[in-house]
Structure 1
């Protein structure tokens, strides 16, 4: 049975050193990674349909298996921040961190999603669509792309959209746009970060946000999620 996506956390901060240490002829025991759970999924050919997933809680150690499943060794080259876990989808080629006290849930039209157990509007979700573009630079200048998305794609006609910050970063040769914005209507306002990237013939979008009234308290926490998104080669 193929493992298509993994929700994982590192057993200790010493793990990256063990993974990156040179192999010795006398080494007989591989590095061990501890998984809180494994999600096995059956996937249809369409990207945005809901998946039928069975979660099997267990704790097991895998050495060579874990290393062979993860094509990007840089995924484990950094320590996962305290109070976060990493979600890795090997089949669809992406990973990101989410707060460890959040819970997975189904968000229609999205490939994965996690939310605060008490505040449902405080959540992260990931979606992607096919594209013939090779890089987000192919979409146009960052300012033009971001303003168009926030004002004409993310917002409804009854909402006022504002963009506060735009950042570009490059990781392992892949480019990402991350931006902060609010959507305000008569009775409600939501703030969020979005990170977009292109790879594997897919246009990925990660959005993490909360009610604007709580934004000051959770902004930095959610920025970690937005900045953690990575596209993996598949």
Structure 2
């Protein structure tokens, strides 16, 4: 019997990437909660598998050599699981690198910039108009990049669903908090609705959904320090 993969997780866009891909692949997994508002990400045992104190991370008891392996960073998790199963990442080099291009776009631009838009619009302890405008505008630029791409392709990297879609979609779920209206991006909206309707995506978003807190700039200082401070 296949042993489950340990998923160290909390319901955030990066966490959703891992829960969605595990659901898409039908791999057995066991959730190990990492409550980032309470500081679980700084526990020594977690840091052994995720030295940057970020979730998600996985531990696969059946690694490539038959021995357990841990993987941190959501993009690396997507690649690892896609290669493990031979799904959602093309085998041909040209197709593979097209998917990896868009995966790196998510890791380098979509997540960091939309995260900043979300932070300054929702979480910053004071309203900073310049920062809000700067990152809301950058979010809009990124949405336009995706919209243009989806005018020429059914999905982000190809005409089939890949780990690039798994990576980008969760970051667009809180689009309203990023100051974006999907009606402004018709190609993106078409794609978003198609991905959102996938049963595995819906199951992935439901993992620990009841634990997700809608934090605001009025959060207490202890929570703010844990989430955004300089803890090591």
Tell me the TM-score normalised to structure 1 length: 0.29
Tell me the TM-score normalised to structure 2 length: 0.29
Quick check: which one's helix share is greater?
2
Quick check: which one's strand share is greater?
1
